[in-house]
Structure 1
Amino acid sequence: MIPTTPSAMILPGRRRGFEARLEQDTLILQTPSFSRRIPITAIEQTESPKAGGRSFVVVLTAPQAARPASWTVQGRSASAARAFLDALQRKLPVRDASEPRTDGTLLVTETPVVKPPVDWRRIASRTAVSLYLLVAAAMLSAGILGAYEWYSALLCWLIGSLTVPLRHFVYGGWEMTRETWWLRTHGVLVEGRRLYAGAYEFTDLEGRTRELTGTSTHAERVEILYDPEGRTEAQVGRGTTGNLIFAVFFFVVCLAMTIAMACLALASPLFALYLASFPLY
């Protein structure tokens, strides 16, 4: 079905957090502090400033002999601002010059913008990456200036940087271990019927029909172990010991490698300082 309501048109502002949005019958001016909603019926006309063509002025209606209120809308490019202005002008109502005007500011509403909570994890990640780049740049600069032992420290530091991708393997191994243990202790065993190659369907305890795909089994009927709470994916067969042993082994190996790489990265500057403290003859 094709939607009858057209999509809103958006004009990004020159500064971050500023934008103009043209909906069906409302112009919305967004700022980092508040959102101003201007009905189309409250707009008298629009004026295009001469400077650059990346902005235009929205003039509201006002009673006779009263000074109308206006706001300037700024865009990032002249073509985008012109397209937005043309779309807005096509929506403006046609008024007679002698038609009485109302105060357009009475129809404008402003609501404060609720700022999202601070993402401390993102800030910590950016800080850690910045410190990493600063330390790497410092060791590289020291090596270029003649302290050649810092090249070996930089090499150890770069090898230690493998802790970043290894961290994802540690997390994946832990999730695999946790899910396998949960399925082992809370799983329910039912019979599944083959639908097509690699896919089976089964009925859970509540009478709902579920489907399990991506299997390598081709039997017509198999045993399926599934979690009634839906926390983990179902599996073909009742055996979980082998999967649990593999998951624990994978997690321990990845964790040990990550710790070793992290220690190497942290110790590399200290090792270079230790080498630099001995005079070379």
Structure 2
Amino acid sequence: MTSTETSSLVLHGKGRASARLRDGVVLLEADGVRRRIPVAAIERVDVHGARVRRLTVVLTGDEPVAYHLRCRSALAVHEFAQAVRRALPVRDADEPRPNGTELVTEKPLERAAPNRIRQLRWGLGGGYVLVLVLLLVTDAGVVPGVLWAVAPGPIAAGGLGVYGGWQLFREAWVLRTRGITVEGRLQRSHFYNGVEQYTYAYVDSHGVRRERTGSDGGAERVEITYDPADPETTKVGRRTAGQLVFGAVLILLAGAVLLAGVAFVVMGMAALVI
């Protein structure tokens, strides 16, 4: 078994569909069925469709069967297809192929537990509409009703901004305090949504070969800083001061917007109660 027969990539599609590559088997979950597709049963893997975001796994056999998975990220589809292609056995053109459908096993998926987050969203949405209606039909006034109506905007924008700023700040702080810098070599580049993406390969301190893909870079050799506790956290270069400042500023600005939205909610509730 080669190291390419297992990949850490997880491809997510619509309706909770997903695909993984483990121990030479493509695990495809879609339409309420979990399919185990050995790489020996796969003739080829195609990437096509609108914006090349559709993965097609074609089985071997005289009448090949194909399974499809559509993903939002074209880059994720491309990377997963490459991982599966590396795991496919090398065959001669005239080599007999097995009937791929006979090698595929299927098992119905267990019904998922109720989505608590979705139920919470519906509950909050219903409560929001109820309060808005009460503010409009009572003598609370126009201003509290308007403030309540616009409150979700700054709350959502501010919350996302705070979260994004915290992620930037935390990543920079982690890389600054415990990051390890190694040399990376350019492997390939491609365009995604009009932006050129660069993939660099590097070897970490444990001798494991890893890859890093992003829009920064371009040189044949660059320094890559990574977090040994979480190798997925990386950046080209080793300077983090700018990212720390930007993350902190984003947290402050987005936090002010978030607090304004919360104040609108408090004012609307106060007008309804008083």
Counterpart residue number, 2:133: 137
Q: Is residue 3 of structure 1 aligned with residue 101 of structure 2? A: yes
Superposed, 1:215-230 pairs within 5 Å as: 215-230=215-230
Seen in structure 2, the aligned counterparts of structure 1 residues 131 and 193 have a Cα distance that, compared at 3 Å, is same
Paired AA for residue 174 in structure 1: W
User: What's the counterpart of residue 127 of structure 1?
Assistant: 123
Secondary structure in structure 2 of the residue aligned to 1:234:
strand
What code does the residue aligned with 2:143 have? S
What residue identity is the alignment partner of 1:192? G
**1:153 paired to 2:144:** yes
| RMSD across aligned positions (CA) | 3.1
Counting matched residue pairs gives: 166
2:169 matched to which residue of 1? 177
**2:230 counterpart SS class:** coil
CA–CA distance in structure 1, aligned partners of residues 107 and 206 of structure 2:
44
In 2, the alpha carbon distance for the partners of 1:232 and 1:186 equals 14
Q: How does 1:186-225 map to 2 (within 5 A)?
A: 186-197=178-189, 198-225=198-225
Q: CA deviation at 1:272?
A: 7.4
User: In the superposition, relative to structure 1, how do residues 138 and 214 fare at CA in structure 2: closer, same or farther (>3 Å)?
Assistant: same
Distance 1:258 1:154 in 2: 18
TM-score (norm 1): 0.51
- Per-residue CA deviations over 1:63-100 (Å, capped at 9, x if unaligned) read xxxxxxxxxxxxxxxxxxxxxxxxxxxxxxxxxxxxxx
Matched residue type, 2:255: L
Q: What are the superposed Cα offsets for residues 210-249 of structure 1, whole Å, 9 maximum, x if unpaired?
A: 1111233221111110111226521111100100110111
Q: Which has the higher contact order (CA 8 A, sep 6+)?
A: 2
Cα distance in 1 for residues equivalent to 2:170 and 2:157: 21
CA distance in 2, matches of 1:179, 1:266: 34
Distance 2:273 2:200 in 1: 62
Structure 1, gaps ≥5 residues long: 11-20, 22-29, 31-114, 275-281
1:103-118 superposed matches below 5 A: none
Check whether the contact 2:165–2:246 (CA below 8 A) recurs between aligned residues.
no
Q: Give the greater-gyration-radius structure (CA).
A: 1
Question: Whole-Å Cα distance in 1 between the matches of residues 216 and 222 of structure 2?
Answer: 12
Partner of 1:254: 254
Aligned AA (1:173): G
8 Å contact kept, 1:193–1:201 = yes
Answer yes or no: is the 8 Å Cα contact 1:179–1:232 preserved in 2.
no
SS of residue in 1 equivalent to 2:142: helix
Give the 4+ runs in structure 1 shifted more than 6 A. Answer: none
Alignment-mate amino acid for residue 170 of structure 2: R
Deviations for 1:174-204, whole angstroms, at most 9, x for unmatched residues? 2222222111111101111111232211111
Identify if the C-alpha distance between structure 1 residues 159 and 118 changes in structure 2 by more than 3 Å, giving closer, same or farther.
closer
SS at match of 1:266: helix
Matched-pair identity in %:
29
Given the two structures, how large is their TM-score scaled by the length of structure 2?
0.52
CA 1:219 to 1:6, structure 2 compared with 1: closer, same or farther past 3 Å? closer
Instruction: Report the Cα distance in structure 1 between the residues aligned to 2:105 and 2:227, rounded to whole angstroms.
Output: 44
Give the Å deviation of 1:6: 6.9
AA in 2 matched with 1:237: G
